[in-house]
Amino acid sequence: MKILFLGDVMGRAGRQAMTGRLTGLKAAWKADFCVVNGENATSGAGLSADHAKGLLAAGADCVTLGDHAFDQKDMLGFIDSEPRIVRPLNFAKGAPGRGAQVFEVRGKKVLVAQVLGQVFMKRPFADPFSAIETVLKTHPRGGMVAASLIDMHCEATSEKMAMGHFCDGRASVVVGTHTHVPTADAMILPGGTAYQTDAGMCGDYDSVIGMDKEEPMRRFITGMPKGRFSPAPGEATLSGLYVETDDATGRATRVEMVRDGGRLSASGP
């Protein structure tokens, strides 16, 4: 299985890059399945129903969310009607939607699940490790599913790395999202799980983590806000991870960082 994962889509720049480039990348790399984190696609805060439809039409086979899952209120009603959107497993009790979903790909089953970390996050969320444990037990890699991907959405690199080791040998891919900066540690862990601490964002890197520089810099320098944050409008880099897995075992056999377009140096399979 050839899996492409792309990190947090940031505002209009990220959406436009997805629309203009994702289909070509999937074709060039012969990707069987593409997961995109879309939780910042609408004005940098959440994902609207219309923008979710746009990401799916652009070539995403699954869209994951995050702590801003329901910042756009229409997602509350839309998510139950769209099984290709996955919100965090350990979100608030009673939240609509699903935190894990199984997809059919080339006659094989692929699991996608997402959990939110607890360290440095603004809101308290349930334990992500016990939440993902239940899913992994019921969807064994190389058994119930040919491949499985876990999106670990959180601030702390230590918590993301702990989740990678926790899932090693049981998931095909564990990849971090949320901090918008790609880490240089793409690797295959001893148990055959592809891992990267953060996939980075799909947005304009001439920015402060995707936001136009002026307002965040003012707040850092003066401590005083003057306006609202707005996503940077320049050309986006599509950032993420490319993984190949063995269908029989679910083990990762190849992992490559992905960077396409924009300001970052190019990388890919």
Q: Please, are residues 154 and 178 in contact by the beta-carbon 8 Å criterion?
A: yes
Backbone angles phi, psi at 256, to 5 degrees: -140, 140
Please count the other Cβ atoms lying within 10 Å of the Cβ belonging to residue 256: 16
Please count the other Cβ atoms lying within 10 Å of the Cβ belonging to residue 189: 18
Torsion of CA 225, 228, 231, 232, to 10 degrees: -50
Query: From residue 241, how far is each of 124, 254, 255 by CA, in Å?
Result: 28, 10, 7
Three-state DSSP at 105 gives strand
Q: Please, are residues 13 and 233 in contact by the beta-carbon 8 Å criterion?
A: yes
Enumerate the active-site residues. 68
Beginning with the edge strand found earlier in the chain, give each strand of the sheet holding 147-153 in spatial order. 100-105, 108-116, 147-153, 173-177, 194-196, 187-188
Between CA 1 and CA 10 the distance in angstroms is: 27
Query: From residue 169, how far is each of 81, 163, 173, 189, 191 by CA, in Å?
Result: 33, 12, 10, 8, 4
Two structure tokens written together for 110: 């692929």
Q: What angle do CA 143, 149, 150 make, to 5 degrees?
A: 120
